[in-house]
Structure 1
Amino acid sequence: MKRAQTSIEDVPLNRFHQRLTVRSGGGSFVDGYVLSIIGVVMLQMSSALQLDGFCEGMIAASALLGIFFGGFIGGWLTDVFGRKRMFLVGPVIFVLASVAQCWADTALALFMLRLLIGVAVGIEYPVATALLVEFLPRQYRGPRLAALALLWFAGAACAYVVGELILRSDAEQAWRWVLASGAVLGALLLLIRLGTPESPRWLLSKGRRNEAQAIIKQVYGRAFSLANLPEQAQERKLPLRALLHSGYGKRMMFVVVFWTCSIVPVFSVYAFAPKVLAALRLTGDFGSISSVAITLFFVIGCLIATRLINTVGRRNMLICSFLFSGMALLGLGAYNSSSSGLILLFFSLYALFIGGAQVLTLVYPNEIFPTEMRSMAVGIGTSFSRVGAAAGTYLVPASLSGIGVANTMYAAAVITLIGLVVSWLYAPETNALSLREAAALD
């Protein structure tokens, strides 16, 4: 009878949790791959299609614009139709749109396909994170959600490695095969997600108690039931407008601002990595090696943050991440004419320290909102943060040629330090809290 009184948020990890982490984390890996791959082929693609600066910027920003729409659509559809159905939508789009890039021969065609891929990524964020957080025990919630950000950068690193290998294979129009390579990962993701059950919390929010009970027994064992999820019975079902006016609006503002400030410099760098590094005089083979090295430091930073998130706490990690990464960007601006080694050091420090903010972009919105608006909150945060990222990405070429690389780095530092101020004022501490406690306003 002791087990019957145990909340499912306090159970040990089981094989289902491990499989679900792979299923959700695989989406983050593919997201990082398909979004970053455009930066690998930008120079070759631009030359082959004779793109001007305007077209380059629009193609680079198109996926981010797609994420804006996909975040809203995915958040809404995930709350309306459930996590299970939407879990398969993103992988299908990844496969179809990636393959179609093989035949794209105009800037408009590439723009539309990259926009569609962005929509798929936007759908992925709310569904994959909500499904994972609603099954995980509280002790593992932070590290496992943080690991999704780690896997995003791992996917980005893989994109640069695979992309460089394909480009150096001397295959005809190799850049097309680089863009199409995302279809392989999308197909694998679809296969591993087949058979994923629906979230009991979502079923309860829709009044489908018998189905929720059956899934709880399937996942946690026959001794478990709805009695092991007592907090859900007390949740009030309020419309989104009422929830925002009740105090969640301030939390939504915090999520949107800190998420935006954490990713604008990152996406700008990834979309135009060769141009940014060339402006900082990191060119040739050293420039290619530097791109991979910086991406690996992003991965290392996220890995360290994932390991320390329960020890350091969410709030402290976010503040320190913005502080030290902002200082690194200031160093890039101040020493932009220095040796290649010093520039690579500052870039690597930025990549290392921004990892804390990156992993929290998926942790905070899933923890500080109730079940009935969790997916929508993630979707809104995803959408609005990508508007800023798209604008920043589009403006990078003009910024480099207009105000120079030093001022471009200073602008990125200002954005990062805005994230620091907002986090200092509004970031809550949710470490070791249950989902209901973390989402409570008092």
Structure 2
Amino acid sequence: MSSTKNRADHRSVTSAVNKRRFLTRMVTVLIGGMILDGYVLGIIGPVSGTMAEDLQLTAFWQGVIAAAALVGILIGSPIGGWAADKFGRKPIFMFDIGLFAIASGLQFFIDSPVLLVVVRLLMGIAIGTEYAVGWPLMAEFSPAHLRGRLMAAMGIAWYGGFMIAFLTGHLLNEYTDLSWNFILGTSTFIAIVIFLARLGLPESPRWLWSVGRKDEARALAARYLPDDALDDVQHEDVRKGSFGMLFSKEYWRSTLFISGFWFCAVTPYFAIATFADSVLNQYGLAGGLAGGVGLSAVALAGVVVTFLLIEKIGRRALTVPPQWLCAVVLAVIGLWAGAPAIIVLILFLVFSFFNAGYNTLTNVYPGEVLPTEIRGIGTGFAAAVSRVGAGIGTFLLPISMENLGAGPTMLMAAGVAFVGAALSQWLAPETKGKSLTEAAAGYAH
């Protein structure tokens, strides 16, 4: 009897160790995808001058090239989410990193603006697809008590990738004779490593269960998921998902919340962060800490603080109050025309810190508040809506600053933040500690 018990205990310990190792691997490759996304968007900045000169880019082509990745994300997010729900997480998971590696490799051979636009478009499609499948996968494999923190870590990874790319690009551009093509193409090496690391990863047991492949789901859940997750998987419905379900009586609130919240969170952020120096210059501030470097560093700190607190104080406390605060901060900046420069700087830094904090929740909520059969398409749809907001903010801010001035422009940004705060006050659920089945049932019952 003792020998049998010892063998059972040994198997239990071995199983727990294997599950931890698997979770570490899964988290690493998902975070790697976010690092790569940030890297791709960050690496182009340091070489943009050399690239524009070499390709003799006009202002038109510079604008098209900048927009190409955004258009790609708009395409890739909803289509990738639909495909992940229909065909499974695993094939789309491998497809997007494969597309990423191929498109990135093409950067070594760019010799025209047209090819650069095509490559950036393809990379945007891959990024959008990664958003739509990566966050649902992280949600579906994470233990309930760690899910928020692990999904928030993907936000840290994005900022980390962007900063690594900017530093790498600057050093290679300044201190080596490498071409701008090669510097852009360095993302290929990261993509290949991540592609190889993803080989052999399993399909999501939750997706298998949702399409009726119950025996496969049970086997994989027993092997890879936490012990309490199998029971939760078996509580999920077996039904076919569709785009229309996002707007059904059960889920329209979830769709409205994740899409509207994400839109209102990123619209002022992208506008202010993209034109940080020119915005602050209107207030007599420019360069150094007062520019994009300072705002980015403070934003990263906001993401890290959210990562540390999300499983302690919950989602809603990190979502609702910070949005009201940022709305008020932007309104003060807009209304206080004669504010001292140091006060304006402090207010912008406060906005950057708290906005980045609740922006982290835009990565967390979509994977939690929708059921498995529409988790991919819902995340993809919300990501696409958010990119529309990013594009609107980035496009309109310089026009508004020039024609209306800084004050009215900041008041419009404050208005967007107020809408996001009111929407979240109404609809933001508390999902801390809940299983995915419980979290996704929040509005449905």
Relative to the length of structure 2, the TM-score reads 0.85
The alpha carbon displacement at 1:108 in A equals: 3.7
Find the partner of 2:175 among 165, 169, 179: 169
Q: Secondary structure at the match of 1:139?
A: coil
Find the counterpart in structure 2 of residue 208 from structure 1: 213
Find the counterpart in structure 1 of residue 420 from structure 2: 419
Shift in alpha-carbon separation, 1:215–1:172, aligned structure 2, 3 A: closer
Shift in alpha-carbon separation, 1:309–1:406, aligned structure 2, 3 A: same
Unaligned segments of structure 2, at least 5 residues:
none
Shift in alpha-carbon separation, 1:220–1:120, aligned structure 2, 3 A: closer
Matches within 5 A, 1:265-414: 265-273=268-276, 275-276=278-279, 283=286, 286=288, 290-333=291-334, 342-414=343-415
Contact 1:322 1:419 in 2 (8 A): yes
The alpha carbon displacement at 1:270 in A equals: 4.7
Q: Which moved more, 1:428-437 or 1:38-47?
A: 38-47
Aligned-residue RMSD, C-alpha: 3.3
Find the counterpart in structure 2 of residue 185 from structure 1: 190
Instruction: Measure the CA separation in 1 of the matches of 2:382 and 2:421.
Output: 17
Find the partner of 2:235 among 231, 234, 253: 231
Confirm whether residue 78 of structure 1 aligns to residue 78 of structure 2: no
Contact 2:132 2:377 in 1 (8 A): yes
Matches within 5 A, 1:67-146: 67-146=73-152
Tell me which amino acid in the other structure corresponds to 2:251: Y
Instruction: Measure the CA separation in 2 of the matches of 1:43 and 1:275.
Output: 18
Q: Secondary structure at the match of 1:131?
A: helix
Spell out, residue by residue over 1:198-237, the C-alpha distance to the aligned partner (whole angstroms, 9 max, x if none). 111111122222322332233259x9995574313x4554
May I ask how many residue pairs the two structures share in their alignment? 432
Instruction: Measure the CA separation in 1 of the matches of 2:55 and 2:343.
Output: 35
Contact 1:53 1:397 in 2 (8 A): no
Shift in alpha-carbon separation, 1:347–1:108, aligned structure 2, 3 A: farther
Shift in alpha-carbon separation, 1:13–1:427, aligned structure 2, 3 A: farther
Confirm whether residue 262 of structure 1 aligns to residue 265 of structure 2: yes
Contact 1:264 1:392 in 2 (8 A): yes
The alpha carbon displacement at 1:337 in A equals: 7.9
Spell out, residue by residue over 1:64-86, the C-alpha distance to the aligned partner (whole angstroms, 9 max, x if none). 22111101111011112211111
Q: Which moved more, 1:370-379 or 1:95-104?
A: 95-104
Contact 2:133 2:376 in 1 (8 A): yes
Instruction: Measure the CA separation in 2 of the matches of 1:39 and 1:279.
Output: 23
Q: Which has the larger radius of gyration?
A: 2
Unaligned segments of structure 1, at least 5 residues:
none
Confirm whether residue 246 of structure 1 aligns to residue 252 of structure 2: no
Contact 1:36 1:271 in 2 (8 A): no
Find the partner of 1:159 among 160, 165, 178: 165
Shift in alpha-carbon separation, 1:64–1:228, aligned structure 2, 3 A: closer
Confirm whether residue 66 of structure 1 aligns to residue 72 of structure 2: yes
Contact 1:125 1:382 in 2 (8 A): yes
Q: Which moved more, 1:181-190 or 1:398-407?
A: 398-407
Spell out, residue by residue over 1:316-372, the C-alpha distance to the aligned partner (whole angstroms, 9 max, x if none). 211122122334434554678877655543332222101232111121111111111
Give identity over the alignment, percent: 35
Instruction: Measure the CA separation in 2 of the matches of 1:298 and 1:76.
Output: 32
The alpha carbon displacement at 1:163 in A equals: 2.8
Relative to the length of structure 1, the TM-score reads 0.86
Confirm whether residue 21 of structure 1 aligns to residue 27 of structure 2: yes
Instruction: Measure the CA separation in 2 of the matches of 1:194 and 1:324.
Output: 44
Q: Which moved more, 1:77-86 or 1:308-317?
A: 308-317
Instruction: Measure the CA separation in 2 of the matches of 1:166 and 1:405.
Output: 36
Q: Which moved more, 1:266-275 or 1:188-197?
A: 266-275
Shift in alpha-carbon separation, 1:238–1:186, aligned structure 2, 3 A: closer
Q: Secondary structure at the match of 2:429?
A: coil
Spell out, residue by residue over 1:238-257, the C-alpha distance to the aligned partner (whole angstroms, 9 max, x if none). 54425632231222111111
The alpha carbon displacement at 1:131 in A equals: 1.4
Instruction: Measure the CA separation in 1 of the matches of 2:331 and 2:59.
Output: 27
